[in-house]
Structure formats: C-alpha cells, structure tokens
Amino acid sequence: MSGFRVGGIKGKQGYTLRADAYVSAMPVDPFKLLIPEPWKPLPYFSKLDGLNGVPVINIHLWFDRKLTEIDHLLFSRSPLLSVYADMSNTCREYADPDRSMLELVFAPAKDWIGRSDDAIIAATMDELKRLFPMHFSGEDKASLRKAIVVKTPMSVYKTVPGCQQLRPDQASPIANFFLAGCYTMQRYLASMEGAVLSGKQCAAAINAALAAGTLAEGTEAAADAVADPSGLAPV
C-alpha cells in the first residue's frame, strides 16, 4: 500500500496521503464497505463478513438531585438498561456534589432503535423508578432536568457462537496495513477497554514490522490495491 486517497472532504480538493504504515481504526461495519476489491478474497478480510454490528442506544439524563454516590460502572437489574454510571461521580468533566448525571446503555436496542426519543426516555424513567424507588416515589420526587438520546444503528459486533475465530489480528496480510478496534483479536470482548488494548497491540505490530523491515514491502506491493478517487481508498 503506497498511499491513501482522501477525496473531496467538505468540498476540498482530493489528495493522496502517503506514509510508511497505515492503520484503520474504524468499526468493523464501515470498514467492510471500504475494503478494496482485490483484498476481499483474502481470508483475513473475507471472514469479517461474519462480524456484524448491533444497534445500541446511549441515554444521558441530568437530575435535580443526587441519586447515588457510587463511583464506578454498574450492571442493572433492568431488562432494558444493561449498564449505567453516575457521571457526576465517575467523570471529572461532569463532577457535581449535588446533582446526578446518569449515562445508561439501553440494550438490546433492536426493537427500540426506530422509536422516538420521547418513548425511549419514558421507558428509561420507568426502569429507573424500579432501580431507585426512594428517589422516584412519594411527594418529593427527583426531577429530570435534561435528557439526550444517542442512537448507534451499528455499534459493537454481535457476540455469537463462533465469532471469536473471525476476529482478525492487528497485522494484516498487506505488509504496511494494520487494524485497530475492539473487534480485532485481543483478550476482551467488544468494549472501550478492548478498543484501547487493540490500539496498543496495533502499535506493537507496527514496531515489530518496522524492526523486521517489512513495511517497505507493503509499499512495493501497492500495485495489488486499487485507487478510488471518489472517496477514501488505498492506492
């Protein structure tokens, strides 16, 4: 791989970016759409067809009072809310000693991704009444000040039997092209922790290729890839 064609972003003229090594840190679904045709038959890339993202909804809720003092991620008893955290305790940017800001993962979201934000917020609040009855019952109930719903139609890959063997190593068959992302092979499942670890393993793979002198081989073999001037593509 000898370059990466960056085409017309925000109306600017396209250009070819050249480097010693190239890394894709995209999620698996958009990455599959950009794999060059000559690469697709390679087992390393073709097996990615078995990894498919699932919809996920993240909900951010700001309240008028403190709901919890717990300073870490929590698994939920709710069938709709898988995990949540009080960001006013766990995140410096949202720190507030008097009012909670909850971030919740609404999953599985397949049946909810197409519904309105209002419907999702209402369902979330019903679940919170069960999780925190002391704050949402009686005369002095906690009030929701603000809410934001973030929908990701294709998020982390769906963990199904056999998917582990489909996860690629960070070093690809293309000598100077590497992958990073939670779907690549590392000891965690799809997660933020897995994404970070994959980045570290990707950097280690590049260092190993640099030490072995194989990065130059990828540039010399660039004729095996196809340029696509209409968008982003290796050349």
Angle (CA) 12-232-53 rounded to 5° is: 125
Tens of each residue's pLDDT in the chain, 235 residues: 777 777 767 778 888 888 889 999 999 999 999 999 999 999 999 999 999 988 999 999 999 999 989 999 888 888 888 889 999 999 999 999 999 999 999 888 989 999 999 999 999 999 999 888 888 888 888 999 999 999 999 888 888 899 999 999 999 999 999 999 999 999 998 888 999 999 999 999 999 999 999 886 545 544 444 344 334 445 4
Kindly report the pTM of this predicted structure: 0.73
Nearest to 185 by CA among 168, 207, 206, 163: 168
Report the run of H or E that residue 194 belongs to, with start and end: helix 192-212
Where do the domains of the chain lie? 4-52+158-234, 56-152
- Is residue 192 within 8 Å of 175, Cβ to Cβ? no
Handedness of CA 216, 220, 224, 225 (dihedral sign): positive
Topology (CATH) of 56-152 = Polyamine Oxidase; Chain A, domain 2 (3.90.660)
* DSSP classification of residue 42: S
